[in-house]
Structure 1
Amino acid sequence: MVDVTDHELVPEHELIEEEVLEGVLEEYDIDRTDLPKIKRRDPATPDGAQPGDVVKVTRDSRTTDQAIVYRLVVE
């Protein structure tokens, strides 16, 4: 079976710590549930991710070098 996370077109996905998440939510003045969602079974979701966790997705961007987005893991 192919590991999609090794593919060059799949951006880096990593679980973030609660302390980091609190800072992000405060900076944007949002709640965890306001974040876009990603399914727990999505092949790019990091191993061990559980519903309620937040994943940081870092992708290359032509305008800003790197674009960072956050996704809430859902069932």
Structure 2
Amino acid sequence: MTFLVQKRDDPSDQLMVFFPDDLSVGIKPIRSYAEKMVAQGVTKGIIVYRKTITPSANKIISQMSSKYQMEAFNESDLLVNITHHELVPKHVVLKDEEKKALLARYHLKESQLPRIQSSDPVAKYYGLKKGQVVKIIRASETAGRYLTYRLCV
């Protein structure tokens, strides 16, 4: 099963969501999904698999990242929205202009920011790519709220 999703405010920003029938997803379905994305002119895709995805299929997904943004999620990982959990602070992905302003304001280089792995569950949820910065807003007893920024690696 396949769905084509687009933003209300920007119909050109489209995403394809694939639900493979196989319990273990291999290379063949990944290639067919890539072909569907090319045919539709869509550059973003999500694969929601039931049990496992083979290492070779994961490798193909990571190799596609230069041209297409494809992510794979286990069905069981999507049963709970982790961003609504009480222990997960609010995350806001910064735009490129905001990132530049942040680095200029604090006289920082990108390499001086704390890091967040692209494999982090929250980073995967927001689709963070290498080089993007996320602002994390935590509650603080003394300051009211505490801001920190992390660079996706």
TM-score by shorter chain over 0.5? yes
Which structure shows the higher helix fraction? Answer: 2
The alignment partner of 2:126 has SS state of coil
More relative contact order, 1 or 2 (CA 8 Å, 6+ apart): 1
Once the two structures are TM-superposed, the CA of residue 39 in structure 1 deviates from its matched residue by 0.4
Answer with 1 or 2: which has the greater Rg. Answer: 2
**Alignment length (residue pairs):** 74
Task: Please give the TM-score of this superposition, normalised by the length of structure 1.
Answer: 0.88
Question: TM-score scaled to structure 2, two decimals?
Answer: 0.46
- 2:126 counterpart residue number: 47
Map of 1:13 onto structure 2: 91
Alignment of 1:27-66 (within 5 A): 27-45=105-123, 46-66=125-145
Q: Deviations over 1:4-61 (max 9, x none)?
A: 2220111011210111111111111111111000001111224221011101100101
Q: Where do 5+ consecutive residues of structure 2 fail to align? A: 1-75
Deviation at 1:3, TM superposition (A): 2.9
Structure 1 stretches of 5 or more lacking a match?
none
Q: Percent identity?
A: 38
